[in-house]
């Protein structure tokens, strides 16, 4: 009997074993992709156990599948990583063409027994980059591809060449310039034995004990590395290259700080080699770079012709077009860089092929942040590659220099080591600044002035993180040290002024107004007023504004902030950050006094200025988006509010190694976003954000939790579940919120009333009418105390109580509350005729249930006449009152009128599509008409009417409701079958 091919494959596959050398090759290859956005997917139902164990042990982003369905489901779910695929032969014919056009798939390898059976796939499909039969060949090829891919994963910064001044910067340009400044400070920091040890320690942590081969390389680096060998170590597929480039590409500040020793060496070597080239008389250099880019990135480049582009790492290129084409792969992108060395004196690059482990690549390496202008982007049909032509852009040098100078002017820079920390503060990286200055203090225990600056920086950073207890602690340390320095050396006055201002701000945020005032006044007394010194004037007006704000004198606070803004508007040089902070202060005062239009105007200006001058993930940006969102929320512009809330969440500092305060901010943002979706009736999205908010809130320590946020989350979750008609879940959340409000803010009577009202409604909908009445009565008592009264709320709650008394057969009490609702409704101006008529119907219904048919008819006739007089016969309540009259006349045994009004009610409901299709009055009509048919012994029409009534009621009432039970009894009388 002939067996299918896959049987032979599996049988042979089971006999193949993997050697230790192959496992080591696999481990080394996969370490090339560590911490990169790269996933390796392997589909093979008979993968070797040793290999699977290796993957599970050390590599998180290797996914092994043993069946086609799981594999396809997984691969289609990956949207933000490049995927390398290894297919066993048996799956390759069907799956390789199927996944080839997936934009996340970078390459496909086929691992099989018989190479000849599958080689045609590598010719037909460009992403099939190899067919292998041996593990060693597979892992060697994989290692080369991964090395190429990692080198290609360079992030680009694009910005318009018109942005020659700081006024014209866009957000992406600002991110680039901050990165340039960070690089400058890193390179200027002293190289010490300690910084080298710090780097080696970082290597050992990165390459864990599970990768002994790499730890051996770390040992080799520690024992043999010399600064002059930096280029050679960079070109090796080594521990240095991987960690340094990963830190540069991801802009991981802590990692960059750890490897600054090596980065400084590489920069110095490149600069030295560059000088050699210039001495040799090199005029124009043309180099190439081959790279895989997804279609959306190519589109972005096409839109960027004429703009400037820079990378956030060392830029690797080659003098050989052939080498670039090999690195790119078929159909991908070739960058051509042209550098005129006479026009671009400051660009640093070097031909490093003579230092390289791979001289045939003819590599030319550019320093971090080299800037080029995009000249042309097109598809070259003759070569089959996309071509991007670029030229070096020396004109961008003025922009970067101006930015560096302005930012350094804003910082306290007593030493280059401390400058790095203050730069982190300027960038809003407060947690990283705290860690950095903590370490610095340990290293400089005997330098009082150095420690004073560190204490101030720590106080400022903790304040920026809203960790005010810690901020106050370090500000107090700094203050005491400053007083000692002033009395002993005469130094410290300038710092003392800054400290008083910071202490005032900390106490103000803590709600300690008197202490805030004390320190603000001290701040003003340090330096005498000087009308000719704008620096002193802006500090004076800011301090005076803060004092006025603390006293609740918002008009005078506005006046001082306006004067401060005027000074900055005439400031030379232009300072966008100072202008933004001034507009922000003015906008927030307008927000405080509910002048929303003026607040929005100033905060919009703030936003545009911050976008040009701050890194993307800065808390000041997030706070400004939040303020704008709150304005839109208050003015009921929910779509715009939602847009701003989402941007606030996006621009918030990332949650890696986050503080409790940053998590709390994210929880608050999610809650506010959910509230917007709630107002837009997008309940599923609202629930999603509230759940996320609750999860984030749960991660915070109890010492920093803001229970106001939890109150809102629980409350809103109650609303969501009420809308989903999941009333028991709604009750849980409402009650949690009510307990918190009553405990921490017992004076918030309206919030207590609203929560009791929500709880009451849930109890009504679950048939627990006595508990509903209890909570609604509590709410009523509070609203009745309000001046002026909230008439709508009072009407609504009297109605609720009236309905519940009806359900408990307490009809006189029901009538009492419904008449109170009617009295309040009739006092409103303008009168709502439909509401008044509807309340007449409700009162009539209560009278009928109490057996007073004359009063019932009287109120219902008045109701129907109101609808007819005011031409409201298309209103849902008109159909309802007609039904009510039909039911009452049936009870009075006036069957003719009963039939007339119920039939007319059905006609109104059926001809007007705006009517509610599941209104209980429709079921009443069906039941009454069924009863009339039954009396007339028309069993089939009676049966059909009862069935229609039952079908509708099952949609809107609990199955055990008395109304449903009554209908089932009626049906049983006709069929003698229990329903």
Question: Between 238 and 13, whose confidence is greater?
Answer: 238
ω before 356 within 30° of 0 (cis)? no
Domain with CATH 3.40.50 in the chain: 5-152
964 neighbors 952 (Cβ within 8 angstroms):
no
Residue 808's pLDDT band (cuts 50, 70, 90):
very high
What's domain 157-402's superfamily in CATH? Toxin ADP-ribosyltransferase; Chain A, domain 1 (3.90.176.10)
Q: What is the pLDDT of residue 705?
A: 61
CATH assignment, 529-611+619-647: 1.25.40.10
Q: Which of 493-497, 522-526, 560-564, 932-936 is predicted least confidently? A: 522-526
CATH assignment, 5-152: 3.40.50
Question: Between 607 and 417, whose confidence is greater?
Answer: 607
Q: Which of 171-175, 288-292, 297-301 is predicted least confidently? A: 171-175
Q: Does the structure show a pLDDT above 80 at 874?
A: yes
Q: What is the pairing mode between strands 363-366 and 315-318?
A: antiparallel
Q: What is the pLDDT of residue 688?
A: 93
Structure confidence by residue, pLDDT tens digits, 293-325: 777 788 888 888 888 888 778 888 999 999 998
Question: Between 246 and 607, whose confidence is greater?
Answer: 607
Contacts of 795 (CB under 8 A, 6+ apart): 821, 824, 825, 835
105: helix, strand or coil = strand
0.85 cut: is pTM over it?
no
Q: What is the pLDDT of residue 289?
A: 92
Q: Does the structure show a pLDDT above 70 at 655?
A: no
Q: Does the structure show a pLDDT above 50 at 694?
A: yes
Rounded-to-integer distance, Cα 36 and Cα 146, Å: 10
Interior/surface letters 305-323, b for 16+ CB within 10 angstroms, e for the rest: eebbbbbbbbbbbbbbbeb
Cα Rg, the chain, nearest whole Å: 37
Q: Which of 123-132, 450-459, 629-638 is predicted least confidently? A: 123-132
Q: Which of 149-163, 318-332, 577-591 is predicted least confidently? A: 149-163
Domain with CATH 1.25.40.10 in the chain: 411-526, 529-611+619-647
Structure confidence by residue, pLDDT tens digits, 821-871: 999 999 988 889 999 999 999 999 999 999 999 999 999 999 999 999 999
Give the residue among 23, 18, 21, 55 at the shortest CA–CA distance from 39.
Answer: 55
Q: What is the pLDDT of residue 754?
A: 94
Contacts of 256 (CB under 8 A, 6+ apart): 182, 186, 247, 248, 263
459 neighbors 475 (Cβ within 8 angstroms):
yes
Question: Between 719 and 510, whose confidence is greater?
Answer: 719
Rounded-to-integer distance, Cα 164 and Cα 399, Å: 6
What distance, in Å, lies between the first and last C-alpha atoms of the chain? 62
Structure confidence by residue, pLDDT tens digits, 193-228: 888 988 898 888 877 655 667 788 888 889 999 999
Residue 792's pLDDT band (cuts 50, 70, 90):
very high
* Average pLDDT score, the chain: 83
Residue 8's pLDDT band (cuts 50, 70, 90):
very low
Q: What is the pLDDT of residue 820?
A: 96
Rounded-to-integer distance, Cα 336 and Cα 576, Å: 36
Q: Does the structure show a pLDDT above 60 at 28?
A: no
434 neighbors 458 (Cβ within 8 angstroms):
yes
Q: Which of 155-159, 390-394, 483-487, 885-889 is predicted least confidently? A: 155-159
Q: What is the pLDDT of residue 475?
A: 92
| Average confidence (pLDDT) over 457-471 | 89
Q: Does the structure show a pLDDT above 60 at 16?
A: no
714 neighbors 684 (Cβ within 8 angstroms):
no
Q: Does the structure show a pLDDT above 80 at 159?
A: no
Question: Between 151 and 641, whose confidence is greater?
Answer: 641
Contacts of 388 (CB under 8 A, 6+ apart): 301, 333, 334, 335, 336, 374, 376, 377
Question: Between 192 and 632, whose confidence is greater?
Answer: 632
Q: Which of 236-240, 721-725, 873-877 is predicted least confidently? A: 236-240
Question: Between 80 and 62, whose confidence is greater?
Answer: 62
Q: Does the structure show a pLDDT above 80 at 443?
A: no
| Average confidence (pLDDT) over 334-338 | 95
* Phi and psi at residue 336, to the nearest 5°: -115, 115
Interior/surface letters 824-834, b for 16+ CB within 10 angstroms, e for the rest: bbeeeeeeeeb
Structure confidence by residue, pLDDT tens digits, 959-970: 787 888 999 999
Q: What is the pLDDT of residue 940?
A: 92
| Average confidence (pLDDT) over 655-669 | 66
Which of 45-54, 108-117, 157-166, 185-194 has the largest mean confidence?
A: 108-117
* Phi and psi at residue 454, to the nearest 5°: -65, -40
Q: What is the pLDDT of residue 346?
A: 78
Q: Which residue has the tokens 């996320």?
A: 692
Question: Between 950 and 398, whose confidence is greater?
Answer: 950
Q: What is the pairing mode between strands 156-160 and 307-311?
A: antiparallel
Domain with CATH 3.90.176.10 in the chain: 157-402
Q: Does the structure show a pLDDT above 50 at 387?
A: yes
Q: What is the pLDDT of residue 171?
A: 46
Contacts of 33 (CB under 8 A, 6+ apart): 40, 61, 146, 149, 150
Rounded-to-integer distance, Cα 651 and Cα 625, Å: 9
Q: What is the pLDDT of residue 127?
A: 84
289: helix, strand or coil = strand
Rounded-to-integer distance, Cα 860 and Cα 708, Å: 47
Q: Does the structure show a pLDDT above 50 at 9?
A: no
Contacts of 564 (CB under 8 A, 6+ apart): 537, 538, 541, 542, 545, 582, 585
Q: Between helices 554-569 and 534-550, what is the axis angle to 10°?
A: 160
Q: What is the pLDDT of residue 912?
A: 66
Q: What is the pLDDT of residue 512?
A: 85
- CATH fold label, 411-526: 1.25.40
Q: Does the structure show a pLDDT above 50 at 928?
A: yes
Q: Does the structure show a pLDDT above 90 at 701?
A: no
Q: Which of 319-323, 404-408, 820-824, 890-894 is predicted least confidently? A: 404-408
Which of 75-79, 111-115, 162-166, 627-631 has the largest mean confidence?
A: 627-631
Rounded-to-integer distance, Cα 78 and Cα 111, Å: 23
Q: Taking the mean position of all CA atoms in its chain, how far away is CA 490?
A: 49
Q: What is the pLDDT of residue 152?
A: 58
Q: What is the pLDDT of residue 934?
A: 93
Structure confidence by residue, pLDDT tens digits, 677-693: 999 999 999 999 999 99
| Average confidence (pLDDT) over 286-299 | 85
Question: Between 701 and 433, whose confidence is greater?
Answer: 433
In the chain, pLDDT over 70 holds for what percent of residues? 84
Q: What is the pLDDT of residue 22?
A: 52
Q: Does the structure show a pLDDT above 90 at 401?
A: no
């Amino acid at each position: 009997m002939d067996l299918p091919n896959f049987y032979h494959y599996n049988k042979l596959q089971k006999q193949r074993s993997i050697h230790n050398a192959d496992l080591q090759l696999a481990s080394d290859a996969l370490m090339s992709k560590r911490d990169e956005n790269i996933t390796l997917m392997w589909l093979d139902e008979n993968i070797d156990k040793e290999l699977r164990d290796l993957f599970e042990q050390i590599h998180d982003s290797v996914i092994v599948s043993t069946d086609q369905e799981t594999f396809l489901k997984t691969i289609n779910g990956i949207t933000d990583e490049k995927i390398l695929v290894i297919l066993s032969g048996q799956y390759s014919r069907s799956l390789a063409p199927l996944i080839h056009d997936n934009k996340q798939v970078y390459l496909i390898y086929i691992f099989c027994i018989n190479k000849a059976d599958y080689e045609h796939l590598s010719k037909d499909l460009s992403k099939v980059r190899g067919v292998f039969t041996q593990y060693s060949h597979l892992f060697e090829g994989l290692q080369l591809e991964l090395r190429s891919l990692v080198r290609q994963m360079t992030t680009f910064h694009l910005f318009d060449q018109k942005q020659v001044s700081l006024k014209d910067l866009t957000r992406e340009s600002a991110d680039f310039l901050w990165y340039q400044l960070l690089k400058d400070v890193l390179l200027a920091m002293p190289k010490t034995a300690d910084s080298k040890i710090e780097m080696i320690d970082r290597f050992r942590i990165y390459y864990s004990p599970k990768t002994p081969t790499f730890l051996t390389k770390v040992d080799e680096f520690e024992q043999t590395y010399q600064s002059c060998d930096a280029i050679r170590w960079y070109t090796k597929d080594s521990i240095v290259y991987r960690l340094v480039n990963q830190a540069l590409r991801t802009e991981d500040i802590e990692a960059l700080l750890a490897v600054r020793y090596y980065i400084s060496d590489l920069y110095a070597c490149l600069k030295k080699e560059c000088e050699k080239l210039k001495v040799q008389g090199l005029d124009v250099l043309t180099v190439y770079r081959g790279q895989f880019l997804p279609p959306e990135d190519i589109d972005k480049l096409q839109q960027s012709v004429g703009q400037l582009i820079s990378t956030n790492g060392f830029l690797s290129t080659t003098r050989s077009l052939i080498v670039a084409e090999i690195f790119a792969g078929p159909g991908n992108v070739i960058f051509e860089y042209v550098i005129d060395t006479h026009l671009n004196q400051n660009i640093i690059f070097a031909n490093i092929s003579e230092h390289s482990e791979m001289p045939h690549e003819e590599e030319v390496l550019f320093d971090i942040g080299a800037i080029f202008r995009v000249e042309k982007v097109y598809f070259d049909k003759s070569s089959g590659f996309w071509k991007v032509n670029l030229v070096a852009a020396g004109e961008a040098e003025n922009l970067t220099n101006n930015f560096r100078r302005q930012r350094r002017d804003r910082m306290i820079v007593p030493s280059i080591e401390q400058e790095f920390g203050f730069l982190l503060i300027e960038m809003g990286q407060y947690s990283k600044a705290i860690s950095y200055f903590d370490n610095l203090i340990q290293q400089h225990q005997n330098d009082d002035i150095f420690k004073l600056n560190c204490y101030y920086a720590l106080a400022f950073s903790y304040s920026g993180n809203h960790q005010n207890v810690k901020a106050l602690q370090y500000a107090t340390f700094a203050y005491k040290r400053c007083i000692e320095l002033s009395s002993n050396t005469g130094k410290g006055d300038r710092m003392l002024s800054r400290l008083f201002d910071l202490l005032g701000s900390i106490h103000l945020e803590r709600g300690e107004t008197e202490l805030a005032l004390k320190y603000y006044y001290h701040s003003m007394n340090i330096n005498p007023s000087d009308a000719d010194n704008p620096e002193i004037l802006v500090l004076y007006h800011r301090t005076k504004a803060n004092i006025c704000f603390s006293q609740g004198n918002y008009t005078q606070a506005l006046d001082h902030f306006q004067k401060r803004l005027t000074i900055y508007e005439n400031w030379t040089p232009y300072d966008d950050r100072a202008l933004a902070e001034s507009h922000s202060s003015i906008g927030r005062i307008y927000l405080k006094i509910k002048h929303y239009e003026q607040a929005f105007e100033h905060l919009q200006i703030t936003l545009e200025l911050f976008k040009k001058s701050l890194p993307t993930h800065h808390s000041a940006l997030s706070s400004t988006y939040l303020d704008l969102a709150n304005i839109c929320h208050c003015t009921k512009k929910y779509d715009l509010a939602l847009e701003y809330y989402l941007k606030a969440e996006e621009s918030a500092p990332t949650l890696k190694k986050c503080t409790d305060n940053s998590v709390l901010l994210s929880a608050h943002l999610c809650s506010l976003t959910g509230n917007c979706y709630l107002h837009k009736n997008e309940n599923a999205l609202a629930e999603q954000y509230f759940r996320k908010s609750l999860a984030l809130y749960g991660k915070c320590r109890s010492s920093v939790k803001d229970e106001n946020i939890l109150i809102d989350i629980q409350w809103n979750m109650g609303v969501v579940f009420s809308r989903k008609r999941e009333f028991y879940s709604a009750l849980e959340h409402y009650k949690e919120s009510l307990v918190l409000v009553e405990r921490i803010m017992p004076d918030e009577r309206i919030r207590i009333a609203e929560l009791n009202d929500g709880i009451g409604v849930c109890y009504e909908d679950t048939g627990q009418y006595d508990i509903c009445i209890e909570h609604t009565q509590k709410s009523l008592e509070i609203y009745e105390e309000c001046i002026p009264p909230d008439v709508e709320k009072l009407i609504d709650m009297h109605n609720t109580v009236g309905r519940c008394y009806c359900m408990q057969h307490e009809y006189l009490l029901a009538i009492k509350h419904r008449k109170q609702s009617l009295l309040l409704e009739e006092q409103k101006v303008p009168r709502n005729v439909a509401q008044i008529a509807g309340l007449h119907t409700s009162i009539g219904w209560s009278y009928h249930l109490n057996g007073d048919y004359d009063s019932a008819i009287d109120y219902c006739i008045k109701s129907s006449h109101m609808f007819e007089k005011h031409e409201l016969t298309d209103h849902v309540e008109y159909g309802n009152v007609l039904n009510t009259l039909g039911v009452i006349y049936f009870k009075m045994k006036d069957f003719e009128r009963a039939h007339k009004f119920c039939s007319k009610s059905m006609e109104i409901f059926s001809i007007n599509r705006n009517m509610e299709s599941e209104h209980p009055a429709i079921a009443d009509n069906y039941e009454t008409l069924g009863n009339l048919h039954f009396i007339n012994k028309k069993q089939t029409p009676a049966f059909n009417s009862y069935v229609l009534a039952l079908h509708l009621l099952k949609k809107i009432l609990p199955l055990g409701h008395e109304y449903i039970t009554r209908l089932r009894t009626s049906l049983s009388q006709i069929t003698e079958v229990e329903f």
